[in-house]
Amino acid sequence: MSRTAEAFHNKKAFIPFITCGDPNLETTGKIVREMEKSGADLIELGIPFSDPTAEGPVIQGANIRALAGGVTTEKIFAFVRELRQDVKIPLVFMTYANVVYSYGTEKFAASCAEVGIDGLILPDVPFEEKEEFAGVCSQYGLDFISLIAPTSRDRIAMIAKEAKGFLYVVSSLGVTGMRSEITTDIGSIIQLIKENTDLPCAVGFGISTPRQAAEMAQWADGVIVGSAIVKLAGQYGKEAAGPVGEYVKSMKDAIR
Amino acid sequence: MAGSRGRFGMHGGQYIPETLMNAVIELERAYDHYKKDREFQEELKNLLEDYGGRPSRLYYAKKMTEDLGGAKVYLKREDLNHTGAHKINNVLGQALLAKKMGKTRLIAETGAGQHGVAAATAAALMGMECVVYMGEEDTRRQALNVYKMRLLGARVVPVKTGTATLKDAVSEAMREWTSRMDDTHYCLGSVMGPHPFPTIVRDFQAVISKEIKEQMLEKEGRLPDAVIACVGGGSNAIGSFYHFIQNKEVRLIGCEAAGRGIGTLETAATINTGRPGIFHGMKSYFCQDQFGQIAPVYSISAGLDYPGVGPEHAWLHDIGRAEYVPITDDEAVDAFEYLSRTEGIIPAIESSHAVAWAMKEVPKMRKDQIAVITISGRGDKDCAAIARYRGEDIKDE
């Protein structure tokens, strides 16, 4: 079992997301450590991109703040190396294809493995384009995470069969961001996935409250939360670690 | 790269969220069906002719030819199309296709507003709802087109993110499409984005080179020596080049917007200053920094103010079939004024980039040679901005 899949072992996993460098890496470091202490099972670290086409306004804002603060892919690798001195839970990068491609896909994967990253999520790389990234990732022992959307339908089997680590189930149409309700029939999507793979399924997009998390955890093996946390980071700036930690604890408690 | 579709050499592909995959697959299937459907083609032909005003004229620019003293200059008058630009060729095709697919709503991005106006026009004609995403900066530069879109019944959404220009309008239209695709077709305006858009838009614009070829054979009994067009995403250029790609003796010249110069950061000359990347659904050349952050590009021309270029152009560049040359704001504005004075034709500031290349290079060509410049659109929309560029403030913009 890969390290990312292990995060789901015998429990429902809570997976928070944070944009690296919003507003600086020192703050991100404090937030990540607080997340781990508060019960996070795996953390998604966002490498900011200038034009994040899958993100709603909240995470777009974090990307802008982080880039304005001067963060770069290089600095984030150094940051993760430092995190790994004490942070033990699995870490995956969430970014856009161009950040990886422009760095050099192989060099990027090698650096990930070297600093202790366990997987990679690229929301603008669907099944049809994954080989140029997934191939290199598996060479360096990284899980290239596949996404399944409410519109995937007859594509689910094909995607699930080649998936690695866990399946990222997108809860709703549209971009990332908090939603008052999730109307997609997540249960039947997850059932279809499970017919094709033994890998765990984590649901993300739009989840912000403990009630929503508990509801998703009825069917899913894990719950991913991004915008609600990034919103706290935006609101509290350099003092965000405390409030984010409390929030993560409340979400983890809701799915225990 | 098993399964990867829509490649032009290494460029192209479908780099989009999983949520959109079935929508582009559905679009590809529908297009493959209707492009062979005689009834669809007949309907489109009638629309292009009776509504769009095709074929557009190939005009011998006698005064310009005499003044430049080199090759014979012909102008392909896409500016005379309904809505004043080549954009209508693509939009009528896509709107008709969307209608056949049962879609009731069109969304579109626009830079200069020409594609937005064309999309709003087609939506009005076909009884469809239309929402146009336009960078807030561009809504200021092209206020007249914003009014036209509203007049035609479309809703214009000013996009405030990023540089608030064309790239951000594309991002926002893609985001909107991700949230609503059952009844909505994304009517992309250029030969860019994920497959099948670069192919669909190229096919609908290829009518330009098909006509140039026929008209040139009729007027001169031979093919031209050079075809010149401006390139942002590159739809009028690919349309002008397409039927000449196999005719190796015809030089194909794409004029990129150099803004304040390719030595500065204020440029949008993608092939001249960019490098390979992945953005807006495609692999191609992009202006970007060393970590792959997309550059905030600049050009006086809102329609060319884009950090990427269509994947087929990237490929034509790679194989050396087409030449991509940078033209600065200053050169384009000079050409805008030159064509107005010399031929009584006010070209769009986008098309003026192609005219500018001709002003520099046609004098070096032989008198028995022929150059065709595609005038992709008319320049009325640019008059206020060019007046401002020259330090003159005209109120009625």
Q: Which of B1, B17, B293 sits opposite A54 (nearest CB)?
A: B17
In the numeric block, which tokens belong to residue B103? 């879609």
| Residues A101, B276: C-beta atoms closer than 8 Å | yes
> A137-168 as b/e, with b when 16 or more CB fall inside 10 Å?
beebebbbbbbbbbbbeebbeebbeebbbbbb
In degrees rounded to 5, what are phi and psi of residue B336? Answer: -55, -45
List beta partners, residue B226. B251, B371
Nearest-10 Cα torsion for A175, A180, A185, A191: 80
The verdict on a CB contact (< 8 Å) between A155 and B181 is no
- Name the residue type at position A208: S
Report the distance separating Cα A5 and Cα A238, nearest Å: 32
The string of pLDDT tens digits covering residues A136-146 is 999 999 999 99
For B20, name the nearest residue in chain A, comparing CA atoms only.
A151
* Cβ-based neighbour number of residue B46 at 10 Å: 11
State the pLDDT at residue A183. 85
Does residue A182 carry a pLDDT above 90?
no
Q: For residues A198-225, give the mean pLDDT.
A: 97
Give tens-digit pLDDT for B354-370.
999 999 999 999 999 99
Q: What is the mean pLDDT of residues B252-259?
A: 98
Taking only the tens place, the pLDDT of each residue in B279-321 is 999 999 999 999 999 999 999 998 899 999 999 999 999 999 9
Q: How far is A97 from chain B (nearest CA, A)?
A: 6
Rounded to the nearest integer, the mean pLDDT of chain A is 97
Give residue-wise pLDDT tens across range A75-119. Answer: 999 999 999 999 999 999 999 999 999 999 999 999 999 999 999
Q: How far apart are CA B273 and CA B265, in angstroms?
A: 10
Asked whether the beta carbons of A238 and A182 are under 8 A apart, the reply is no
Residue B249 is a catalytic residue:
no
Domains and CATH numbers, chain A: 3-248 (3.20.20.70)
Cβ neighbours of residue B233 closer than 8 Å, sequence gap 6 or more: B189, B190, B191, B192, B306, B308, B309, B310
How far apart are the CA of A134 and the nearest CA of chain B, in angstroms? 11
SS (H, E, C) B276-325: EEEECEEEEEECECCCCCECCCCCCCCCCCCCECCHHHHHHHHCCCEEEE
What is the 8-class DSSP label of residue B109? E
- DSSP letter string, A61-123: HHHHHHHHTT--HHHHHHHHHHHTTT--S-EEEE--HHHHHHH-HHHHHHHHHHHT--EEE-T
pLDDT at B140: 87
Residues on chain A touching B174 (C-beta within 8 angstroms): 53
CA-based Rg of chain A, rounded to a whole angstrom?
16
d(CA B48, CA B91): 10
Q: Contact at 8 Å (CB) between B226 and B371? A: yes
Tell me the three state secondary structure of residue B155. Answer: strand
In the residue annotation, B36 being an active-site residue is answered as no
Query: What is the per-residue pLDDT for B2?
Result: 43
| Identity of the amino acid at B18 | E
CA–CA separation, A216 and A157 (whole Å): 21
Of A60, A124, A155, the CB nearest to B15: A124
Q: How many helices (H) and strands (E) does chain A have?
A: 12, 9
pLDDT tens digits along B46-92 = 999 999 999 999 999 999 999 999 999 999 999 999 999 999 999 99
Per-residue pLDDT tens over the stretch B119-138:
999 999 999 999 999 999 88
Cβ distance of B18 and A149 shorter than 8 Å: yes
Q: Is B43 a catalytic residue?
A: no
Question: Distance from B338 to chain A by nearest Cα, in Å?
Answer: 38
The shortest C-alpha distance from A234 to chain B (Å) reads: 17
Residue closest to A77 by CA, chosen among A104, A100, A108: A108
Q: How much is the CA Rg of chain B, to the nearest whole Å?
A: 19
pLDDT at position B383 is 93
- E strand or H helix at A28: helix A25-37
Is residue B43 within 8 A of residue A175, CB to CB? The reply is no
Active-site residue identified among B28, B343, B376, B381: B376
Token duo for residue A50: 């200038």
Is A173 within 8 Å of B180 when comparing Cβ atoms? yes
> B397 pLDDT exceeds 70?
no
DSSP state of B381: G
Is the predicted pLDDT of residue B333 greater than 80, yes or no? yes
CB B149 within 8 A of CB B113: yes
The pLDDT of residue B396 is above 70: no
Count of CB pairs separated by less than 8 Å, A with B = 127
CA distance A222 to A15: 7
A61-78 pLDDT, tens digit per residue, is: 999 999 999 999 999 999
What integer pLDDT is reported at residue B393 of this predicted model? 83
Render pLDDT for B160-209 as a digit per residue (tens, 0 to 9). Answer: 988 888 999 999 999 999 999 999 999 999 999 999 999 999 999 999 99
Contacts of B280 in chain A (CB under 8 A): 53
How many angstroms separate the CA atoms of A43 and A35, rounded?
8
Average of per-residue pLDDT values in chain B = 96
- Residue B341 pairs in a beta bridge with none
Q: Which residues on neighbouring strands pair with residue A44, listed in sequence order? A: A17, A92
SS3 per residue for chain B: CCCCCCEECCEEEEECCHHHHHHHHHHHHHHHHHCCCHHHHHHHHHHHHHHCCCCCCEEECHHHHHHHCCCEEEEEEHHHCHHHECHHHHHHHHHHHHHHCCCCEEEEEECCCHHHHHHHHHHHHHCCEEEEEEEHHHHHHCHHHHHHHHHCCCEEEEECCCCCCHHHHHHHHHHHHHHCCCCEEECCCCCCCCCCHHHHHHHHHCHHHHHHHHHHHHHHCCCCCEEEEEECCCHHHHHHHHHHCCCCCCEEEEEEEEECCCCCCCCCCHHHHCEEEEECEEEEEECECCCCCECCCCCCCCCCCCCECCHHHHHHHHCCCEEEEEEEHHHHHHHHHHHHHHHCCCECHHHHHHHHHHHHHHHHCCCCCEEEEEECEECHHHHHHHHHHCCCCCCCC
Whether pTM > 0.95 for this model: the answer is yes
Q: A54 touching B, CB under 8 A?
A: yes
DSSP state of B103: -
Query: How, if at all, do strands B11-15 and A143-144 pair?
Result: unpaired
Q: Which residue has the higher pLDDT, B395 or B219?
A: B219
% of chain B residues with pLDDT over 70: 98
Interface mutation target, options B7, B11, B14, B19, chain A, most CBs of A under 10 Å:
B19
> Which of the 8 DSSP states describes residue B84?
G
- In 3D space, the residue among B395, B269, B396 whose CA is nearest the CA of residue B331 turns out to be B269
Predicted confidence (pLDDT) at residue A208 exceeds the cutoff of 90: yes
Residues of B with CB under 8 A from a CB of A: 1-5, 13-23, 161-162, 167-168, 171, 174-175, 178-181, 275-281, 283, 286, 288, 290-294
